[in-house]
Amino acid sequence: MVTLGLALAWLALVASLGWWMSKRIVATELDNLAASAEYEAKTTARIMDRLFTEMVSVTNMVARQGSVIQLAARYRTDAPGAAELTRQQRAEQFTQDPLVRKVGDFMNALSSDLRYARIYMNNMSDDTVTASNWAESGSIVGMIYAGRPYLVDALRDGNGHSFGIAKLNKTPSYFVASRIENEDSVPQGSVTVKFDASEVALYLTGRHIALIVDRQGRVTTASSAPFMLRNAAALLPPDMALSAGAAPSPDNDEDPGRPLDVHAIAGTDQTGQWLIDGRPYLLRSEPLSNTQYQLLTLAPLDHLAPMRTQHLWVAGLVATVGLLFILLSSHVVAQMLIRRQDERYAANYDALTDLPNRRHVLAQLERLFALAKRTQQWVLVAFIDLDGFKAINDNYGHEVGDQFLVEVGRRMSAGLRSSDMLGRLGGDEFVVIGLATPPGAEGRDDAVEAMRSRLAPLLAGTYAFAECSFDYPGASFGIVSVDPCASSPQTVLKTADQRMYADKQARRAPRRQESASPPSIPASHQLPTFAVSDT
């Protein structure tokens, strides 16, 4: 009946549990993706923060070079009429100066080491005095960058930065500028680092899609090409995003980018799920320190729909296989449980008397010591040895001897207190353990005598079995009560054993005096006198 009930319960639960388990698995997958995206967002944000911090540090370092300050002071403003000259004419005038070439070479070496697209210096007239590419045909030396916000901010505030599309090569790039000052802190010009977005993208190397987005929502760098220069304003935190229709950034003429088709996915367990251009994503965002940019991390969720379909098929398979498994395994499980219970019982109880065995007694004695310490009681141990047990086996056989042991266990159990425990250590040795009240001021141990008076009379007397009956004079007792803080389980057992042996010797002395056996026979070989009658 149990097996049939389990089978019916399994079939009834599979349908509902299949849906629940699928939901749980998907939720776990979403949690893992969320944790992964969160970790990746924070890690990548730290990398980007260091990258932008490095750019600022480089511009500050270059702006403080002695030769750069000297060159900026020399060409602080353009000479009258310079604006009417072509860029090439202005560049020719600048590059004739050895200091212009020297500083340009320094910038070229630095930009090559750091993989920057370009490093250049502008004077107060926004004219490019020198650059890392001063010797190339596409040099920007002589280019006037009037009104560029990063230059305006650098001259006004000390540092400036922005993103834009380079005019000459149409490359999306980041610009970071620092102010050049003389020893009197008077502005002399600025140094700018240009870092192409394609190079920045190499640092976005996680398993998910990473986007760097400005306050207009424009994707300035992306690890996935389809997102580059698109507008993701709908994905930005409300306190950061500007309207997608806001005016273009003042440092360039580009529009904010074609908006992504974005819809929030409602009714999901995991927040931050979006449908972007028809594909589901899990979104995590992280601001970049000291910049206008936000890092967005998108974990694709395309695999969740096939996962749910797979769960449906698996549920059907589980329903079929599970039913067979329950029917076949129920019998095996039942047998294993029975065997385990038998093994546990056999490991802790004596097979003959059903009393706790040595292993169980010792374990309980350890527990009893701990309990006695907490309750400020003493531990009471009685060691019992059945005198003349070998003679019973020899005279009546081992079957009667076994019956005798069982009867001894039954009789002693009747004399135990509710807190006492009787166990068989092996052979004809038994032990009783329990708790006792500490002795009084006079040192009289009433607990020991009370236990002896309860147990000793129970063992003496007539034992009647189907095969025979006999009178048994009793057993030897070694009873000891100890302070658990001043003794140990091993010590108290040893002491009880010694007292039992002393009791055995004392009980043998009267019998030796009455015995007619020759005195040459050792006392240890003498047997107690039994009054025996066969039945």
CB 192 within 8 A of CB 150: yes
Specify the DSSP element, H or E, that contains 295: strand 294-300
DSSP 491-510: HHHHHHHHHHHHHHHHHHHH
Q: What single-letter amino acid sits at 142? A: G
CB 324 within 8 A of CB 332: no
| Secondary structure (3-state) at 482 | strand
Burial 219-254 (b: 16+ CB within 10 A, else e): bbbbbeeebbbbbbbbbbeeebbbebeeeebebbee
CB 119 within 8 A of CB 192: yes
The one catalytic residue among 428, 445, 497, 503: 428
**Residue 127 catalytic?**
no
Specify the DSSP element, H or E, that contains 181: strand 172-181
| Secondary structure (3-state) at 419 | coil
Residue (of 14, 47, 54) closest to 320 by Cα position: 14
DSSP 29-44: HHHHHHHHHHHHHHHH
What is each CA distance from 515 to 196, 393, 511, 519, 529, in whole angstroms? Answer: 116, 21, 6, 9, 9
CB 87 within 8 A of CB 139: no
Positions annotated as catalytic residues are 428
